[in-house]
Amino acid sequence: MKRLVFPLFLLLNLALCAQQPPVIEYTSVPNFLKLPSDIYFGEAAGVAVNRKGHVFVLSRGNTTGPAYAAAATQLLEFGPDGKYIREIGHNLYAWSYGHAVKVDPEENLWVADKGSDMVIKFDPQGRVAMVFGRKQEASDEGTEALRHVKPPLPPIDGMFRQVTDMAWDKAGNTYISDGYINSRVAKVDKNGNWIKSWGEPGDGPGQFSVPHSIAVDAKGNVYVADRGNRRIQVFDGDGNFLRQITIDVPFDPNARPAIGPTPVQTVSGNGTMQAGSPWAICITPGPNQVLFSSDAYPGRIYKLSLDGKVLGYLGESGKQLKQFGWIHEMACPSEHELYVSELLNWRVQKLILKSTK
């Protein structure tokens, strides 16, 4: 009898398929957020939800200025029913190119603005409570877009270069992912004092290639979406590396991208458009916390245990409800309710997930 020989890649694919996690059934609430007739979303860079169910959307709307380097940040609040309430920080000095919005455990609102290199803390009433970083002076002769030089210039304590996100531990310390250039995590205490930072460009443990999103679990462990390296790195609160999580779920190679050509899947190199590469992460409240992570291609959301096991997945790229165009931030008030902001589709979807048990 002739012996059958299977190519290695086929055997690997069969092994992965045997481990395929379940598809999570879900619905998307149609027309959940209701904008006034004279306000429009731009790219929905961020979304956050507080304990009262109010939804905060960080939109690259209300755009002013030239086509290149226009100011594009607008922070909008909606009620639990999706009804528009107010705009927060209209024409704020820090607004340039909004990147992420979060609500801390004390119901304060925080925004990371990639364009101004600033992080702003608002109190629950919407007034500025603390300011981190400083944007370039408009009067300076050398004011211009930041250059991605190699090797990068040394980072400066208290300053950011294209900052991306923030998260908190139980002691009130804030962890800030900083970001496209500095490739590090900064830690400040509850009074705003700079404590330390860790990380640098690279692909080793504790090194980053665009730390794009950040979350903290109930034990104080810090999860960093190391997007360019296609992994989530986990640290303790002092920046000591604990482990890394990679998401390896088989997908249809004919899956359509949200925009542009189908990304070539490579083992090495820039992982931004690789399947499983974390663009946005969030961790649900306790007591049984789970982690959600999203990728840009093939446009899926993954549900994971905190030790990295994929419990299920959902979604695909597209423009219809239940499809996604580059999820940039997620809020997960529970493991059955998700809010996802999309860059390409200029919207936020409210998703209701069915149990995977």
Quick one: how far is CA 355 from the chain centroid? 24
Average pLDDT of the chain to the nearest whole number: 93
d(CA 325, CA 46): 13
Output the pLDDT for position 53.
98
Residues 19-37: tens digit of each pLDDT = 699 999 999 999 999 999 9
Q: Please determine, for residue 138, whether its predicted confidence score (pLDDT) is greater than 90.
A: no
Q: Using the predicted structure, report yes or no on whether residue 273 has a pLDDT greater than 50.
A: yes
**Residue of 151, 173, 172, 153 whose CA lies nearest to 162:** 153
348 against 14, higher pLDDT: 348
What is the mean pLDDT of the segment spanning 261-283? 91
**Mode of pairing for the β-strands spanning 55-60 and 74-78:** antiparallel
What's the CA gap between 282 and 243, in Å, rounded?
17
Examine the pLDDT at 151 and tell me if it is beyond 90. no
Determine what percent of the chain is predicted with pLDDT higher than 70. Answer: 93
Neighbours of 267 (CB within 10 A): 7
pLDDT of residue 268: 66
The token pair that represents 230 in the structure block: 């296609």
Q: In terms of pLDDT, which residue wins out, 335 or 68?
A: 335
* Selection from 210, 140, 134, 217 nearest residue 179 by Cα: 210
* Predicted confidence (pLDDT) per residue in 280-322, tens digit: 999 999 889 999 999 999 999 999 999 999 999 999 999 999 9
120, two tokens: 């702003």
| pLDDT of res. 24 | 98
| 3-state per-residue secondary structure call for the chain | CCCCCCCHHHHHHHHHHHCCCCECCEEECCCCCECCCCCCCCEEEEEEECCCCCEEEEEECCCECCCCCCEECEEEEECCCCEEEEEECCCCCCCCEEEEEEECCCCCEEEEECCCCEEEEECCCCCEEEEEECCCCCCCCCCCCCCCCCCCCCCCCCCCCCEEEEEECCCCCEEEEECCCCCEEEEECCCCCEEEEECCECCCCCCECCEEEEEECCCCCEEEEEHHHCEEEEECCCCCEEEEECCCCCCCCCCCCCCCCCCCCCCCCCCCCCCCCCCEEEECCCCCCCEEEECCCCCCEEEECCCCCEEEEECCECCCCCCECCEEEEEEEECCEEEEEECCCCEEEEEEECCCC
pLDDT of residue 17: 52
Q: Do residues 178 and 165 make contact, with C-beta atoms less than 8 angstroms apart?
A: no
**Percent above pLDDT 90 for the chain:** 86
Q: Give the per-residue pLDDT at 270.
A: 80
d(CA 287, CA 255): 36
- Chain Cα centroid distance, residue 194: 23
Read off the pLDDT of residues 194-237 as tens digits, 9 standing for 90 and up: 999 999 999 999 999 999 999 999 999 999 999 999 999 999 99
pTM of the model: 0.93
Using the structure block, give the residue that is written with the tokens 């997620």: 330
